[in-house]
Amino acid sequence: MTRTIALLNATLVCPDSGVSKGGVLIAGDRIAATGTFAVPEGAETIDCKGKLLAPAIVDLGVFAIDLPAFHKGGIVRVGLMPDQRPVLDNPGLVQRAALIGRPDLWIHPIAAATRGLAGKDLAEMAINREAGARAVGTGAGWIADSGVMRKVLAYAGDLGLTVIAHAEDAGIVGVAVATAGETATRMGLPAAPAIAEPLAIARDLMLTEETGAALHIRQVTTAAGFDLVRAAKRRGVRVTCGITPAHLFLSDIAMSDFRTFARLSPPLRSESDRRAALLAVADGTVDVLCSGHDPQGPEEKRLPFADSTPGVAGAETLLALALGLVRDEVVTIDRLFALLARNPAKVLGVPTGTLTAGAPADLVLLDEHAPWRIDSDQMAAKAGNTPFDGLPVQGKVLRLFKGGAALV
């Protein structure tokens, strides 16, 4: 018997239809109706008390599966990066990755574009797609060989798969752990100029334009990088890009005390680049807001800054930090959920991320005003390595539904 749930008296937030008052009717695993509707006899009813009801978050580009952190952060779908052990470069591994989250999480594997992510030989994209891959990616590294990258884009384009790329020219970055500038110089850290990012972006955009493929640059963090993406979009290039809250709200000054929680990849940028990032979100250049969830334990972080492992436990803070963009009037609340849900779903080719009737009943009910303080020692994640430790924020998940099933 199909379970029916009526979520009533909510403030609906839909990236397609905007903000309205009403409810959502769930029948089985789908949204049956939104707005005003007759509640079927026998349906379970939940009074949302005017709180925000929105599509659950689709977190594009996580490095680890971390159910407690995802659920606390309103996430029910993730695009899993290929940088796993072993690398997601064959159909058996891709299929297993797609299944391990059930029944509490949708996992959409991003298969490796090249074997072992070595940037040399193409992986079996067609077979990996059949095994469940929703995109192919270069992982946390850049494909230096332009000929290989062109083949990746052409092959993926023929298969209808988006290429998810990391944008840093490895020849310039080398062993750098910071962006060249006053902060890195004062700290004595190996640093690389920020131009490493736009150089990589420029090449990949040219190859994308030439092949007609679809490219998603997982993180763009520099003013020059945003300018290139902006111009490419105007020319009709099939490019989208993302960013994390860390690069929107922090500059390289956050590294000043050698705190390894601020050791990220790409590294934190200058204040001028950070301001350019906020502008890029406001003007629509940025399509996706993601957590970059990559929890690292004490053995990786309690080291000298240059020796520590980059990464951030970002899943459970993503929503609260993102809501700050609405309070600061950078974006509207419906546009925010386009960045968090609809757009990442489009990159992965998954028909979700809206409150449209017939869509999967992946929903989050939240109190956008509920205050709390980020505490790295109390986080639900596998490790609490967040550069926002101690920051007061607002926004808590009250209820979470995956395919109509209540998770929180």
DSSP 278-298: HHHHHTT---EE---B----H
Does the residue 13 lie in any domain?
no
Nearest partner of 359 among 9, 10, 11, 15, judged by Cα: 15
Q: Is 23 inside a domain boundary?
A: no
User: What mean pLDDT do residues 214-224 have?
Assistant: 98
CA–CA gap between residue 163 and residue 152 (Å, rounded)? 8
Q: Which residues touch 71 (CB under 8 Å, ≥6 apart)?
A: 104, 380, 397, 400, 407, 408
Please indicate, yes or no, if residue 359 is contained in any of the structural domains.
no
Q: What is the distance between the alpha carbons of residues 70 and 408, in angstroms, rounded to a whole number?
A: 11
- Burial string for 29-49 (b: 16+ CB within 10 Å, else e) reads eebbbbeeeeeeeebeebebe
Q: Does a structural domain hold residue 8? A: no
3 state DSSP class of 271: helix
* Residue 1: per-residue pLDDT: 58
CA distance 39 to 47: 13
Distances (CA, A) of 181 to 21, 200, 201, 269: 49, 20, 21, 9
| pLDDT(103) > 80 | yes
pLDDT tens sequence across 46-95? 999 999 999 999 999 999 999 999 999 999 999 999 999 999 999 999 99
Residue type, 161: L
In-domain check, residue 201: yes
| Distance, CA of 252 to CA of 269 (rounded, Å) | 5
* Strand 191-192 to 178-179 pairing: parallel
What's the whole-model pTM score? Answer: 0.97
pLDDT of residue 55: 98
Q: Where are the alpha helices (DSSP H) in 264-342?
A: 271-282, 298-301, 315-327, 333-337
Whether the CB-CB separation of 78 and 107 falls below 8 Å is answered with yes
pLDDT of residue 191: 97
Asked if residue 334 is part of any domain, the answer here is: yes
Nearest to 122 by CA among 85, 167, 154: 154
- Residue 346 near residue 216, CB atoms below 8 Å: no
DSSP string, 150-202: HHHHHHHHHHT--EEE----HHHHTT--EESSHHHHHHT--EE-TTHHHHHHH
CATH number, domain containing residue 320: 3.20.20.140
Whose tokens are 């029944």? That residue is 103
The token pair at 284 is 């629509």
What count of Cα atoms within 13 Å lies in the side-chain half-sphere of residue 378?
8
Secondary structure class of 323 (helix, strand, coil): helix
What are the tens digits of pLDDT across the range 148-193? 999 999 999 999 999 999 999 999 999 999 999 999 999 999 999 9
Q: 9 to each of 50, 248, 334, how far by Cα in Å? A: 5, 33, 18
The pLDDT of residue 367: 98
Distance CA 330, CA 323 (A): 10
pLDDT at 164: 98
40 within a domain of the structure (yes/no): no
Neighbouring C-beta atoms of residue 371, cutoff 10 Å:
11
Mean pLDDT of the chain: 97
For the segment 117-144, what is each residue's pLDDT rounded down to a tens digit?
999 999 999 999 999 999 999 999 999 9
**What integer pLDDT is reported at residue 228 of this predicted model?**
98
Q: Write out pLDDT tens, residues 285-335.
A: 999 999 999 999 999 999 999 999 999 999 999 999 999 999 999 999 999
When pLDDT is averaged across residues 199-212 and rounded to a whole number, the result is 98
Per-residue confidence (pLDDT) for residue 2, from 0 to 100: 77
How many domains does the chain divide into? 1
Distance CA 295, CA 386 (A): 9
Q: 238: how many CB neighbours lie within 10 A of its CB?
A: 16
Q: What residues make up the domain containing 267? A: 57-353+367-392
Q: Is residue 190 part of a domain?
A: yes
For residues 85, 89, 91 and 93, what is the CA-based torsion angle, rounded to 10 degrees?
A: 0
